[in-house]
Every structure is written in structure tokens, then in C-alpha cells.
Structure 1
């Protein structure tokens, strides 16, 4: 259990709404759908209405800083089945990257791989008290595109399981291109934070507002213990028809 999962949830009941592709950029086709992730009839490009409003505020701030640039949403909502699909896939990739065979792993090896995976992926939970952040409609993975629509180089791809994914990995670098990577990550964080989002401690691309992780981070930042999660797992009846 991660520390933030102890945060109490009092879901405010906000609806899930689609992210407008004319206001922010969306990765098309969706990366996990291409892999065969089981979304069914639920769109990955949906958020709670209050979270979407904050995202559009962040986009407006980005326009003030870098005219023509857009926030690009890589991923937002994930059903639990998709979360499990991606955890299993990432686990398999990490086993393969080590040159191991899944069926021959020792207990120590399995635990070592999973420890690395869960730095970046929340283990799916059916318990309504501990939903994965992306299953709440309050978390999203984002990057930047410039005025021509080209991806801004952030120094590592989204979902990379490596130290390069940590937000401040390039902060102390004296290499010019790596300084640029850090500047891009800082810009993204600044516009998102100004709209109320908190960035994941291990991932430059993951931001949330109102979920358990967000509330836990706000507690750590302020020393106040009265931050609660506004959003729990998004149920089917929250979708705007």
C-alpha cells in the first residue's frame, strides 16, 4: 500500500466529460488502445469536469508563455482492466529487458521487477478506498507540442521505466540540450501547478487534481492534514450522456 492510499475519499460526484480536441492536443491514435488495452466503450480521453476546467486553465497559461504551444494529452481515464493490462505488459517488458524468462523467475527476481514497475504504475484495486489515480478521472499524462504541432523534446518518452523519468533528472546537468529538457519539464509543471495540479514525484508527465495522490502531496507541501480526495473511482453513472 502506498502512503497516499490512506487518504480519505469524499467523492463530489462531478461527471466525467470528454476532453475537447480543439482546445488541447490529443495523441491519436491512443497509445494503449493500439496495444489492445480493453477500454470497451469508455474513452480514455475523459476527465472529471472540474479537472478538465483546470486543464483548460493550464492551457491558457501556456499560451501566455509560449504562443501557439499546446498541452498534449497522452492518456487520461483508465478502467481497472486497462490498468491491469498495462501493469502486466510493463512487468513483462522489464523481465524481457533483463534477459530473464517469466516462467523461470525466482521469488526475489519477481519482487525486484515488480518493485521497479510500481514506481511508475499503480497496482489495480477493486477496493473503492484505494482506486488507481487514472481510474478516478482526476489524473492525466501530458506533454507539450509546439506551434507547428511537433512534439517538444522532454528528454525521455512517457512511460519509460528509468531514472530519466524522474522530473528533476536533468536539473543539475551542464549539457545544453539536457538543460533544455529540464526547462521544458519545468514549463509544463509551472502551467499545470498554477491551475492546481500536482506532479507525480517519479514521473515528469503525470499530473492530478483532487485524487488521493494530490491530497497526500498537498498535505506534505503544507503540513496540513485536512486535505481529502474529491474524486474516487469513476463509476459508469458519472458519464455525461
Structure 2
């Protein structure tokens, strides 16, 4: 009897922690569990320096079409001993609103030296680093890199994820030949599988035929 009750309790807790996603969205791990993840906005390791609103659990959520396309990319990289690593994917509007509130508090510069050492915080809006709307909120944009499966190390891209500066532009020239090759490897495999790049961030890609091109969602990541 006690064992039976324990099963009921565990099942009840699982139900509480699970989330029914909107139609058209999936957990990436249900499509390809081999794709690695490090949700920066769930941690303190991001340009604000604290967890971001709407990030509750360590799971990657994307549109179904995006998940299938990422699976194709992962299959190609796996043959080279490599893997995708996701930093961010679907992002709720409440997280974007958190970014906007933070950007308006000019004396909150905890992570400046790491993420925007050369950019005045007052210019983050004008330069396009912070905006009131994000493609991530539509569910088909991903921020990602490539990892060497043998070493577990990220390939050297010449600048870190979310670094605000020209150094993060995909075709920035003042980096090594190998760093350029790594950026182009990521870019080439993403473009070949239906994604379009962003001009200012080597890590940022959006599915060309995204299913929700005008809808901005706000359900939490859990």
C-alpha cells in the first residue's frame, strides 16, 4: 500500500512540474537528446549577472520545425566528432522585458567587463543589442556553438557568446584563421539546413520558414 501511494505521489509531482507546450512547440531533447545545452539565462553567467525572468528549468524549447532542422545539423556534426551546444532558443517575452528594464538602469554594470567592455550601456538600445521584441520569442531562433565531443570543449570562435561588440560579427577579420574556420563551419552547416544568420552575432540563427513569424509567446521555460 505504501509503495502504491509513493507511486501516486511521484506521478502527481511529475505532473505539476511538467508543462503542456503550445501546439507546434517541442522540447528539443524529445527530438534529439544528444544536442548539448547550457542555458545561460537560467544562471548568473550572462550579461546581466543573474537568472532571467521566465527561465525555470534547464530545458530547450523550440518550434517542431526548428527541432527537426537542428537534428539534421547534429547528424552531420556527429560524423565529424562534433556536437551542437545550445545557449538559448525559445525565449519568453517576460525575459525580453527583463532585458529592457535592466538596460534602462545605467548604473547596473556588474558584467560589463566580460560582456560589453567597449560599449557604453547607454548605447545598447541604439546599437541594437537590446530591443523590446526578439525573434527568439517566436520559437524558431537559436543561439548556439559547436563542441568537440572528445574533449567536451567548445570550438574557439574568437569571441564568447553574447559578447556585445564588432568582434562578434560573423566576418570580423581580426581573429585567427582557425577561429574564422570554426565560425564558417557553424555558419555553413546551419545555412545548409534551412537557417538564416544574423549579421552581428556569429551564434545567432533563425529558421527561414519559421511557423510563427508574427507571434511572440510568453509561456515560461519549464
Task: Say yes or no: TM over 0.5.
Answer: yes
Q: Deviations over 1:114-141 (max 9, x none)?
A: 212x1x33x224xxxxxx2010111010
What is the CA–CA distance in structure 1 between the aligned matches of 2:52 and 2:118, rounded to whole Å? Answer: 24
Q: Deviations over 1:16-74 (max 9, x none)?
A: 111117321111xx31121221116576610000010001111112223x2x2101001
Misfit runs of 4+, over 3 Å: 40-44, 87-100, 228-231
Could you tell me which of 146, 149, 156 is aligned with 2:148? 146
What is the CA–CA distance in structure 2 between the aligned matches of 1:98 and 1:74, rounded to whole Å? Answer: 23
Give the superposed CA RMSD.
3.2
- Show the counterpart of 1:232: 215
**Is the Cα contact below 8 Å between 2:94 and 2:218 reproduced in 1?**
no
- Show the counterpart of 2:13: none
- Show the counterpart of 1:22: 33
**Is the Cα contact below 8 Å between 1:14 and 1:50 reproduced in 2?**
no
- Show the counterpart of 1:199: 197
What is the CA–CA distance in structure 2 between the aligned matches of 1:15 and 1:80, rounded to whole Å? Answer: 18
- Show the counterpart of 2:161: 158
**Is the Cα contact below 8 Å between 1:63 and 1:70 reproduced in 2?**
yes
Unaligned runs of 5+ in 1: 1-12, 103-109, 126-131, 215-227
Q: Deviations over 1:159-202 (max 9, x none)?
A: 111111000003xx5xxx71101100000011111110011111
**Is the Cα contact below 8 Å between 1:137 and 1:231 reproduced in 2?**
no
Residue 47, structure 1, aligned to residue 65, structure 2: no
The structure with more helix, counted as a fraction of residues: 1
**Is the Cα contact below 8 Å between 1:23 and 1:56 reproduced in 2?**
no
Q: What count of residue pairs does the alignment treat as equivalent?
A: 184
Secondary structure of the equivalent of 2:78?
Answer: helix
CA shift, 1:234, in A, is 3.3
CA shift, 1:231, in A, is 5.9
Residue 124, structure 1, aligned to residue 124, structure 2: no
**Is the Cα contact below 8 Å between 1:154 and 1:182 reproduced in 2?**
yes
- Show the counterpart of 2:12: none
Unaligned runs of 5+ in 2: 1-21, 44-49
